[in-house]
Structures are given as C-alpha cells and as structure tokens.
Amino acid sequence: MVTDLVKQFGRFAALRGVTADFAAGRLYSILGDNGAGKTTLLRTLAGLTPPTRGTISMLGSTSARAVCAQFGYMAHPSLLYDEMTGLENLGYFSRLYAIRDEGRCKEVITLVGLDPELSRPVGQYSQGMRQRMSLARALLHDPRVLLLDEPFSNVDLHSAREMVKLLGRMRDSGKTIFVVTHQAQLLEGTADEFVWMQAGKIVDRTPSLEPLKTP
C-alpha cells in the first residue's frame, strides 16, 4: 500500500534516500540507533513534515492530507490535554473526526484496557496509562494505518505486552501498523517484519530479530 521514495533534509539529512514498499495488513517494527531517522520517517508518512525531495504514496494518494482520516498517529508526548479526563479528551477528538457514535469513545478506551469512567485528568495518569490512552485516541476513528512512535517508552512490562497483543489483533483485522521503538524485543513474534534503519537509510528488513550485520 505504501510506496515510498523519500529523500529528506532537515538542517542535516535526516533521511538520505529512503525507498521502500510496504504491504497492507502487516505490522512493521522500525528500529535503529538514535538519529537513524526513524521518527522523521514516521512523521513524514503521517504528513506532519513535508519531505525535501521524493514522494510518498499512501492508500493510493500522494497527498497525506487527502487520506489523513485513515491515519492514527501516536508519539512519545501524549497528544492529550492534561486537564481533561480520558473520556473528555476522546470526546473532543471524536468531534474532530466527525464521529457520531456516542459509545465509540468508551469502547475504544475499554479496548486498550482502561476504565472509561475514570474521573482523573490525564495529567495524573501513570505513563503506562497515558500511553494507552494516547493509543486509544489514535484508534478512535478506526484508521487503516497506524503510525506509532515509541508507544512503549516508560510503560510497565505488563501494559506493554497487552498493547502488543492489541496491535497484533489490529493487524489481523487488516490494519497496517508501523511501530518505531527501541524495545523491539516486545514485538518479537508479533511483528511481520523488522525494518532496520541507520544514518537515514533502511539497511535491512528481516522477519525476526536477528542481529544486524555490522555497519
């Protein structure tokens, strides 16, 4: 579904000529050192950063804006309002996506394993809960493509494993999922492919976590 010919410069070259083809309905784990360009790649796919050169084709369109309703994005910051409860947050975002179904917010909060009735504001959540609520926000509009940047960072092991199982189920239902993470071992056995990046390029793609050939 995704054909990707990207060359991008930030102040320096964050992505130095990335060309790849990603099939639909798979879970891809993107890994690499700090500064390898993983986050930049994800943000470019999401349409948040325009590439300096090159094109991206997602879901049949070269413009991210046109198909953005099909993207679910999640990053290390929670992308939620600290002062509102989880349900209120999702209630607001559901308006952005023109979701009419009232029960959807509760449904998706329960899906990530949290209590929709929780009256604590998100700012008081533990990191694990916050990441899960952020994931709920990304799933709210049932997107076909998920772009997740470090979803497991600072999350306790149990929550992380639950999230991975959930992602597996999502993948099985036909979603395409990209996960950027330093904790790729969590995805061993669930991910369809591991995409290794280094210095702004994709250097390898393996079906499991075998060690990378030395640079």
Smallest distance, another protein to C-beta of residue 92, A: 5
10 Cβ partners below 8 Å, 6+ apart?
A: 40
Smallest distance, another protein to C-beta of residue 59, A: 13
Nearer to another protein, 81 or 192 (CB): 81
Phi/psi zone of residue 125: left (φ > 0), alpha (ψ -120 to 50 degrees), beta?
beta
Interface residues toward another protein, by CB under 8 A: 7, 9-13, 16-17, 33-35, 46-50, 68-69, 71, 73, 75, 77-84, 92-93, 95-98, 137, 198-200, 215
Burial class of residue 90 in the structure, from the number of CB atoms within 10 Å of its CB (0-12 exposed, 13-18 middle, 19+ buried) = buried
- As given in the structure block, the two tokens for residue 106 are 């509760």
Other CB atoms within 10 Å distance of the CB of residue 173: 9
Q: Rounded distance, CA 10 to CA 33, Å?
A: 18
Nearer to another protein, 1 or 79 (CB): 79
Nearer to another protein, 71 or 186 (CB): 71
Positive or negative torsion for Cα 148, 96, 24, 18: negative
With residue 108 as reference, give the H or E element that holds it: helix 104-111
Smallest distance, another protein to C-beta of residue 177, A: 16
Q: Rounded distance, CA 176 to CA 192, Å?
A: 11
* 94 CA to centre of own chain: 18
Tally the C-alpha atoms within 13 A of residue 184's C-alpha that lie toward its C-beta.
Answer: 24
Nearer to another protein, 77 or 189 (CB): 77
Nearer to another protein, 95 or 169 (CB): 95
Nearer to another protein, 30 or 186 (CB): 30
Smallest distance, another protein to C-beta of residue 207, A: 25
Smallest distance, another protein to C-beta of residue 71, A: 6
Smallest distance, another protein to C-beta of residue 199, A: 5
